[in-house]
């Protein structure tokens, strides 16, 4: 164990995607959980459309409502974090700011009460030679998205007032 080596400042995170792919019994999330002895936090990631060309944009609420009971059942005491979530700008299936607004509304009103932290995937990348196909999830590339974050997170007391988790 790390603590036996003198490292007392490490947090171990068990991190999974919001769904198991392939969706076979052998690949269920619970099959990979090593146990509370080895895990400090349980983490999940969920994404809407990741490129402007994706023909889907699953709502964050749907993803979390599906996976949250599984995560909570892994351990009755471990806090849950949203390690990454995001959606690209420019997808025809959803607008970035509407998707993020709905997700942040649920997160900041504690729809999933064991969630203690979240992290937006703030990145951009090229997908092919056509700049219109490039992905950007960066707040600084969409003023409307930045405004959503300011409105939902900037002055929300549920964000900074819940630093200590009690199950």
pLDDT tens track for 21-74: 898 999 999 999 999 999 999 999 999 999 999 999 999 999 999 999 999 999
Burial group, residue 104, by CB count within 10 angstroms (0-12, 13-18, 19+)? buried
pTM as predicted: 0.88
Whether pLDDT at 89 is above 60: yes
In the chain, where the domains are located: 11-153
Q: How would residue 146 be classed by pLDDT, with cut points 50, 70 and 90?
A: very high
Whether pLDDT at 140 is above 80: yes
Whether pLDDT at 157 is above 80: no
pLDDT of residue 160: 62
Query: What CATH number is given for 11-153 in this structure?
Result: 3.20.20.80
Percent of the chain residues topping a pLDDT of 90: 83
Give me the DSSP letters along the chain: -TGGGT------EEEEESS-SS--GGG-GGGG---TTT-SEEEEEEES-SSTT-S----HHHHHHHHHHHHHHH-SS--EEEEEEE--TT-TT--HHHHHHHHHHHHHTTSSTTEEEEEE---EE--SS-GGG-EE--GGG-HHHHHHHIIIIIT-HHHHS--S---
What's the whole-number average pLDDT of the chain? 92
Read off the pLDDT of each residue in 111-139 and give the average, rounded to a whole number: 96
Whether pLDDT at 167 is above 90: no
Whether pLDDT at 165 is above 90: no
């Amino acid at each position: 164990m790390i603590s036996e080596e003198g490292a007392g400042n490490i947090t171990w995170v068990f991190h999974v995607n919001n769904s198991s792919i392939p969706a076979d019994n052998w690949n269920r999330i619970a099959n990979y959980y090593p146990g509370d002895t080895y895990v400090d936090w349980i983490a999940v990631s969920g994404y809407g459309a990741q490129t402007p060309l994706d023909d889907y944009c699953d709502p964050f609420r749907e993803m979390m409502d599906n996976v949250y009971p599984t995560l909570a059942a892994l351990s009755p005491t471990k806090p849950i974090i949203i390690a990454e979530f995001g959606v690209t700008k420019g997808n025809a299936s959803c607008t970035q700011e509407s998707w993020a607004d709905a997700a942040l509304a649920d997160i900041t009103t504690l729809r999933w009460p064991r969630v203690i932290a979240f992290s937006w995937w703030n990145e951009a990348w090229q997908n092919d030679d056509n700049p219109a196909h490039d992905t950007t999830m960066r707040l600084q590339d969409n003023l409307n998205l930045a405004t959503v974050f300011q409105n939902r997170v900037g002055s929300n007391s549920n964000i900074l007032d819940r630093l200590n988790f009690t199950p």
